[in-house]
């Protein structure tokens, strides 16, 4: 068992790297941030201040710490998607345990290389498949394992990306263009195909998929519209207006995601300047985006079992919706919805409904979770992920880390197969 906190080096001090590192500020007896590598000065400086890092542990390039003798127990690789494989492999070979932001990498070849490097080096790899770590997922697994619904035969799963989240992240943002990042199914929904694998308890045997980019194209640019929301004559009538999305948050004093993606120093002046000059102020119909805004995936598993997955942009941002069909009962999970309450918006807690075929009774569970933490994302899945990984390493309890290399590679291969199916319009057998 580890005596004292684990030491972590963070590669990439953006949104995810900063979020996971909050755990160290809240649990200094379990985790201590001892270094950071981040090329953007403003984000690097913010991270350094937050964790009181000394100059000799602050780096611009992720390669720089490799020349030193290993000085951390774990590295958080939270760079952009295309920058995952190289540092993950390099740090594995140096003997660092790894917390790797999903997706593992944009190609199957790179994913295999990461897994091979981890196994050769004998280090632990935990991929940030946060959905596996939530309270409601644990409860679902308990019910299924108990036999209460018999054998799971089929699952319907839906991820509502949300109209404004699509515009922020997958049109204007870092994940809008496949050549610069990865397909939407990998960048956003590898979580979901991995979760389906986890719930089903088996890897996929064959897959088919359809989808494409329907709405966010130049052909749908409104008459009289400008190139930027800040100089657009029809901006007030556009649901995807960047001014509509970001400025109310700033005016309410909210400085976290998504506005802190525009500027690390969130003020009205700085956000307006970012909208006038940066990528997040572009017209949503005139960006370089090419990822899908709607997609469906059909999956087959061993034993004539199946699942379907739907992801699209055209909805209110909310929790995932899942129906699980068993031989003795049915489960319905609503992860929560955004609902108005006066002038505010609340997120309802996850709700689980169980229908038993024998008794024909319906029971409900509100699966509210609350931890005193800043890591509230994904219904506190962010917290449970980091807590389980750090606890698993400190206490030598590998069973806590449920998103390791083999299971992650299997679910990523399903994503790659689904993309092949979508592009080539055929069933892909795994």
For the chain, the structural domain boundaries read 6-127, 131-216+290-374+403-429, 225-281
pLDDT higher than 80, residue 341: no
Predicted pLDDT at 89: 98
pLDDT given for residue 160 in this prediction: 96
User: Higher model confidence: residue 395 or residue 370?
Assistant: 395
Sheet holding 329-334, edge to edge: 362-366, 351-356, 329-334, 321-326, 152-160, 305-312, 294-301, 204-212, 428-429
CATH of domain 6-127: 3.40.50.720
What pLDDT is stored for residue 340 in this prediction? Answer: 67
Q: Is the pLDDT of residue 276 over 80?
A: yes
Rounded average pLDDT over 133-143: 96
Residue 355 bridge partners (DSSP) = 330, 362
For 211-257, what is each residue's pLDDT tens digit? Answer: 999 999 999 999 999 999 999 999 999 999 999 999 999 999 999 89
Task: Report pTM.
Answer: 0.94
Distances in Å between the alpha carbon of 89 and those of 41, 136, 275, 349, 402?
A: 25, 33, 37, 38, 20
* % of the chain exceeding 90 in pLDDT: 92
Average pLDDT over residues 115-142: 97
Supply the CATH classification number for the domain 131-216+290-374+403-429.
3.30.360.10
Average pLDDT of every residue of the chain: 95
pLDDT digits (tens, 9 = 90+) for 102-118: 999 999 999 999 999 99
Do 131-216+290-374+403-429 and 6-127 fall under one CATH topology?
A: no
pLDDT band at 184 (very low <50, low <70, confident <90, very high): very high
pLDDT at residue number 106 = 95
pLDDT greater than 90 at residue 370: no
Mean pLDDT, residues 277-302 taken together: 98
Mean pLDDT of 347-375: 94
pLDDT computed for residue 76 by the predictor? 98
Q: What is the pLDDT of residues 44-59, one digit of tens each?
A: 999 999 999 999 999 9
pLDDT class for 343, splitting at 50, 70, 90? low
**266 or 338, which is more confident:** 266
Region 60-74: mean pLDDT is 95
pLDDT(342) > 70? no
pLDDT bracket for residue 344 (50, 70, 90): low
């Amino acid at each position: 068992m580890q005596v004292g906190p684990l030491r972590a080096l963070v590669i990439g001090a953006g949104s995810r790297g900063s979020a996971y590192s909050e755990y160290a500020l809240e649990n200094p007896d379990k985790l201590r941030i001892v270094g950071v590598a981040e090329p953007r000065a403003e984000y690097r400086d913010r991270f350094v201040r937050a964790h009181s890092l000394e100059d000799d542990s602050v780096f611009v390039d992720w390669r720089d710490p490799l020349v030193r003798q290993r000085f951390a127990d774990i590295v958080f690789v939270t760079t952009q998607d295309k920058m995952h494989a190289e540092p993950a492999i390099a740090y594995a070979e140096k003997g660092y345990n790894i917390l790797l932001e999903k997706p593992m990498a944009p190609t199957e070849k790179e994913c295999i290389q990461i897994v091979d490097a981890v196994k050769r080096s004998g280090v632990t790899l935990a991929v940030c498949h946060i959905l596996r770590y939530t309270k409601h997922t644990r409860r679902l697994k308990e019910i299924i394992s108990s036999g209460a619904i018999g054998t799971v035969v089929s699952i319907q799963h839906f991820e509502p990306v949300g109209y404004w989240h699509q515009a922020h992240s997958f049109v204007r943002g870092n994940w809008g263009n496949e050549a610069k990042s990865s397909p939407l199914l990998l960048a956003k929904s590898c979580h979901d195909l991995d979760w389906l694998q986890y719930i089903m308890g088996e890897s996929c045997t064959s897959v088919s998929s359809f989808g494409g980019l329907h709405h966010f194209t130049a052909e749908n640019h409104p008459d009289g519209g400008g190139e930027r929301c800040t100089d657009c004559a029809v901006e007030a009538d556009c649901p995807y207006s960047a001014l509509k999305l970001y400025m109310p948050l700033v005016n309410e004093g909210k400085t976290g995601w998504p506005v802190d993606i525009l500027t690390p120093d969130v003020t009205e002046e700085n956000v307006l300047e970012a909208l006038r000059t940066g990528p997040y102020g572009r017209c949503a119909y005139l960006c370089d985006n090419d990822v899908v805004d709607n997609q469906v995936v059909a999956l087959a598993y061993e034993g004539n079992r199946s699942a379907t997955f739907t992801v699209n942009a055209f909805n209110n941002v909310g929790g995932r919706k899942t129906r699980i069909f068993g031989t003795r009962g049915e489960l319905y999970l609503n992860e929560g919805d955004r609902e108005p309450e006066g002038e505010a918006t609340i997120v309802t807690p996850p709700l689980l409904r169980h229908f038993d075929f024998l008794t024909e009774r319906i029971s409900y569970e509100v699966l509210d979770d609350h931890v005193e933490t800043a890591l509230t994302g994904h219904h506190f899945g962010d917290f449970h992920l980091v807590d389980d990984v750090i606890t698993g390493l400190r206490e030598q309890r590998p069973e806590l880390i449920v998103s390791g290399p083999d299971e992650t590679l299997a679910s990523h291969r399903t994503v790659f197969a689904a993309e092949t199916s979508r592009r080539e319009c055929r069933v892909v057998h795994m």
